[in-house]
Structure 1
Amino acid sequence: MASETETSGSPAPQVSTGFNPVLINSVTYLGTIVVYLLAVYLRDFPEVPFPVVGCLLASDGGFSEWTSAGYVLMALWCFHFMRRFVEVLFVHEYKRKMSCVESFGAPTYYWVFGFWVGLSLRPDLGYVNTYLPLFVIGSMVFLVGEVGNGVSHLQLRNLRSSKNNHLLYQTKSQHVVPHGLMFELVSCPHYFFEIISWLGFSLATWALSVIVFLGATVVTLCFYGYQKHKAYRAEFDGAEGRELYPPNRKALIPFVF
C-alpha cells in the first residue's frame, strides 16, 4: 500500500510537525520483511486453528507436496517490500512530515499482517499448497502488478523532475496532470497495480490472511484514490487558463471506478 506522504502531482494535506517519512517508511517496509521471516521460522509455535492458518483451497496431492512453493511465496513477499524500501530512498519525494497516527499506524498495520501471512503459510502449521495452475497464474499476476506499480512510481518521479516540467501544464502550486500509459485511464495507476499485486498473491496462496490483506488494501486505496481523483479534478477545472482534467479518466479502476 502506497504511503499517503508520497507526492504524486496532486494536492496533499500539509503536516508541519511529525516524523521523517523516509525513516518511518523505510523501517516499516524492512520491518514487514523481518516479521514475515520471524513468523515463518519461529519454532515451537502453538497450534493455530484453521482457517486462521492454512489454505482455503488446497490441492489433494502432487503439487501440495512441493515444499519449495513456500520459498517462492517468501521471495514474492520480500521482493515487494524491498522494492518499496528502495523506492522510499531513491524514487519518492516527500513534501510533508508524517503525523503520529500515520507514523505508528503504518508499521502496526503492515507488521501485524506480515506476521499473520508468514504464519498462515507454514506447512508445519497446516498450510497445503493450492493447485499448481492457480499458483502459477497468481504469481504471474503478482509480478505484473509489481512491474506496473514500479513503472507508475517512476512516471510520477519523472513528472516532478525539472527537466520534464516544461513539457507539462503546471499550476502555481507546482502540480501537474499526469499523462502516459495507465495514467491515461486512471488517476492512480500505482494504487491499481498495488491491488493487482495482492490479488495475484491471493490467487497463489488462497490463505485467509492474504485475502483479508487484499480486502483492506482495496478499501484503503479506493478511498485514497477517490480523494486524489477529486483533488485533480478540482484543481484542473479548465477555468482561467488551467488545463481541464481528462473527463473520461477514472479514479482507480479503468472504465469502472
Structure 2
Amino acid sequence: MASETSKISGSPSQGHVSSGLNPVAVNSVTYLGTIVVYLLAFFLREFPKPVPFPAAGCLVPSDGDFGEWTPAGYVLMALWCFHFMRRFVEVLFVHEYKRKMSYVESVGAPVYYWLFGFWTGLSLRPDLGYVNTYLSMFVIGCLMFFVGEVGNGVSHLQLRSLRSNKNTHLLYQTKSQHVVPNGLMFELVSCPHYFFEIVSWLGFSLATWALSVVVFLAATVLTLCIYGHKKHQAYRTEFDGREGRELYPPNRKALIPFVF
C-alpha cells in the first residue's frame, strides 16, 4: 500500500532517501488515524445523512432479517480496527525500516488511508441506508478476513526471523551469506504477506459489499500486484545460481500461488 514502499521488505533497487520523515512515526500515526476516522464517520451523527447510493449502502440485496442484525456492524468495525491495530503493532515491533519516508509518501499514506477509512465508516452506517449482506457471505467473508490476517502476520514474522538469525537474502543484507526465504507460503510465492493482505480485504469486501471497500480492494490488488512483480523479478535477478549464489525456485510465483 501507500506506506509499503518504506519497509525493509522493499526492493534493493530503492534509493536511499536522505531527507524525509521517520517511517515508524508516519506509519504509526497513519494506522491509528485510520481507526479514528472510521469510528468518527460511523458514530458521529452530525455528518449529513443524504449520502447517495451507492456511495453509502450495500451493493447487494440483504436477506431480510439478517440485514437488520445490528451487531453485524460492530463485527465489521472490530475487523477494521483489528487490522490497523495489528499494522500499528507491527510497525513498532516487527518491521525494520532502512530509509526515511519521502515527504510525498509521508503525506500520501495518511491521506490515502484516512479517506478510505472515513468513506468506509460512512458506508456501513445503518442510518445512511446500509443493511448487511446475506448471512452466508458475511460469515465466509469474516473467515477469509481472519485467514488473511493470520497469514499476513505470520509472513511478516518469518521475514523478521531472517533478520534476527543474521541471515541474508535479497531484502535483509549482512556480510554473511545469501539465503532464499523458504517455509510455508514462501514455498509458493515471493510475497505471501501481499497475498494475505489481498485475502483480508477480499474477505472484508465479501462481508460488506460496500462500494468504498470494493474500491479499496481494487486499489490494494493493483498496488500489491505491481510491488509483488517487482520484488519477484528482483529475487530472480539476485539469486541467479551463478558464482555460488542460490538459484531462485523457478516454479515460485510472485503473488498468487500457481497463477501470478
1:226 aligned residue:
229
Aligned ranges 1:103-114 → 2 under 5 Å:
103-114=106-117
The one-letter code sitting in structure 2 at the alignment partner of 1:133 is S
What is the alpha-carbon distance in structure 1 between the residues aligned to residue 178 and residue 21 of structure 2? 24
Between 9-18 and 113-122, report the one with greater CA deviation. Answer: 9-18
2:12 aligned residue:
11
Secondary structure of the structure 2 residue equivalent to 1:56 = coil
1:252, distance to aligned residue in structure 2 (A): 0.4
1:30 aligned residue (8, 29, 32):
32
4+ runs of 1 displaced by more than 4 Å?
166-175
2:195 aligned residue:
192
2:180 aligned residue:
177
- Which 5+ residue runs of structure 2 have no aligned equivalent? none
1:176, distance to aligned residue in structure 2 (A): 3.6
The two structures have a TM-score, normalised by structure 1, of: 0.94
What is the alpha-carbon distance in structure 1 between the residues aligned to residue 247 and residue 214 of structure 2? 38
1:177, distance to aligned residue in structure 2 (A): 1.7
2:208 aligned residue:
205
Between 169-178 and 69-78, report the one with greater CA deviation. Answer: 169-178
The two structures have a TM-score, normalised by structure 2, of: 0.93
- Which 5+ residue runs of structure 1 have no aligned equivalent? none
What is the alpha-carbon distance in structure 2 between the residues aligned to residue 106 and residue 146 of structure 1? 20
1:221, distance to aligned residue in structure 2 (A): 0.2
Q: State yes or no: 1:248 paired with 2:251.
A: yes
Residue pair 1:9, 1:178 contacting (<8 A) in 2 also: no
What is the alpha-carbon distance in structure 2 between the residues aligned to residue 90 and residue 249 of structure 1? 29
What RMSD in Å do the two structures reach over aligned CA positions? 2.1
Aligned ranges 1:116-127 → 2 under 5 Å:
116-127=119-130
1:175, distance to aligned residue in structure 2 (A): 5.8
Post-superposition CA distance 1:170-206 (Å, at most 9, x none): 7759764211000010000000000000000000001
Secondary structure of the structure 1 residue equivalent to 2:232 = helix
What is the alpha-carbon distance in structure 2 between the residues aligned to residue 149 and residue 102 of structure 1? 22
The one-letter code sitting in structure 1 at the alignment partner of 2:40 is L
1:96, distance to aligned residue in structure 2 (A): 0.7
Q: State yes or no: 1:101 paired with 2:100.
A: no
2:44 aligned residue:
42
Post-superposition CA distance 1:58-78 (Å, at most 9, x none): 314110111010000000000
The one-letter code sitting in structure 2 at the alignment partner of 1:25 is N
Post-superposition CA distance 1:127-186 (Å, at most 9, x none): 01111110000000000000000000000000111x352899977597642110000100
The alpha-carbon distance between structure 1 residues 43 and 167, as it changes in their structure 2 partners (threshold 3 A), is closer
Question: What is the count of residue pairs matched by the alignment?
Answer: 256
Identity of aligned residues (%): 80
What is the alpha-carbon distance in structure 2 between the residues aligned to residue 178 and residue 167 of structure 1? 7
What is the alpha-carbon distance in structure 1 between the residues aligned to residue 40 and residue 231 of structure 2? 36
The alpha-carbon distance between structure 1 residues 9 and 202, as it changes in their structure 2 partners (threshold 3 A), is closer
Residue pair 1:9, 1:177 contacting (<8 A) in 2 also: no
2:64 aligned residue (61, 72, 75):
61
The one-letter code sitting in structure 2 at the alignment partner of 1:40 is F
Secondary structure of the structure 2 residue equivalent to 1:144 = helix
